[in-house]
Amino acid sequence: MVRRGGVRCAFVLALLGLALAVVNFAFAQERGGRAAAPTAASGAAPQQPRVYANMLQLMRGTLYPQSNVIFTAQVEDPASFKPAAHQSTSSDPFTSAYGGWEAVENSGMAMAETANLLLVPRQCGNGKPAPVQNADWQMWVQELREASLGVYKAGQAKSDEVVLDAADKLATACLHCHAKYRNVPGGVPNRC
């Protein structure tokens, strides 16, 4: 009888082991077949994040809409926007749950964080590698980061004068890089 109980115990343990293996396999499949990333506690180096967007998609999806917040704040007082009926789903940062001057602050911080993504190797919209290793690219990314932090401070200051200064620095930072890498002869095929 004891032996029979031991067989049952071994069978249950085997089933548990099989269940864990199936669950681990399912999680690995969900991650695209890769094993789980090592944790910092294991001492292994963290994996680099996967790049999904090319430079054009990154610009259009992040920096363009965020910079429009500060450019709008130049001509309209952020505090004058009426909250949307459904603030939590408003696509307009000024009328969302985090609207008004807070939208300016948030846009500044989002642009500063996005500046980090401009240094991650990726392709341009035309398939060529983005020149992230170039000294001028890195210098202009830093200029964008500093201008973005100025946008954040403008949101905190809630001042039209500070907004105008921040918008000017932001536009200048964008233009420096665009003059060399975006506004080039031959258009899209030759630009990043």
Looking at the structure, tell me whether residues 158 and 77 fall in a common domain.
yes
Looking at the structure, tell me whether residues 10 and 81 fall in a common domain.
no
Residue 132 falls within a domain, yes or no? yes
pLDDT, residue 185, reads 86
Looking at the structure, tell me whether residues 16 and 65 fall in a common domain.
no
Look at residue 9 and tell me whether its pLDDT is greater than 90.
Answer: no
Candidates 85, 150, 102; CA nearest to 93 is 102
Q: Rounded to whole angstroms, how far apart are CA atoms 21 and 5?
A: 24
**Mind listing the pLDDT tens digit for each residue in 93-113?**
999 999 999 999 999 999 999
Mean pLDDT of 121-150: 96
Residue 13 falls within a domain, yes or no? yes
Residue 45 falls within a domain, yes or no? no
Looking at the structure, tell me whether residues 22 and 63 fall in a common domain.
no
**Mind listing the pLDDT tens digit for each residue in 37-92?**
444 555 677 777 899 999 999 999 999 999 999 999 999 999 999 999 999 999 99
DSSP percent split of the chain into helix, strand, coil, nearest 5: 65, 0, 35
Looking at the structure, tell me whether residues 6 and 68 fall in a common domain.
no
Residue 184 falls within a domain, yes or no? yes
Contact assessment for residue 139 and residue 180, using Cβ atoms and an 8 Å cutoff? no
Residue 48 falls within a domain, yes or no? no
Looking at the structure, tell me whether residues 18 and 85 fall in a common domain.
no
pLDDT, residue 34, reads 42
Residue 44 falls within a domain, yes or no? no
Look at residue 13 and tell me whether its pLDDT is greater than 60.
Answer: no
pLDDT, residue 170, reads 95
pLDDT, residue 45, reads 75
Looking at the structure, tell me whether residues 70 and 134 fall in a common domain.
yes
Looking at the structure, tell me whether residues 91 and 21 fall in a common domain.
no
Q: What's the number of domains the chain is made of?
A: 2
Look at residue 145 and tell me whether its pLDDT is greater than 70.
Answer: yes
Look at residue 2 and tell me whether its pLDDT is greater than 50.
Answer: no
Task: Read off the DSSP letter of residue 12.
Answer: H
Looking at the structure, tell me whether residues 156 and 111 fall in a common domain.
yes
pLDDT band for position 21 (50/70/90)?
very low
pLDDT band for position 18 (50/70/90)?
very low
Domain of residue 118: give its range: 55-190
Looking at the structure, tell me whether residues 82 and 174 fall in a common domain.
yes
Looking at the structure, tell me whether residues 62 and 18 fall in a common domain.
no
Looking at the structure, tell me whether residues 111 and 168 fall in a common domain.
yes
Q: Rounded to whole angstroms, how far apart are CA atoms 27 and 116?
A: 29
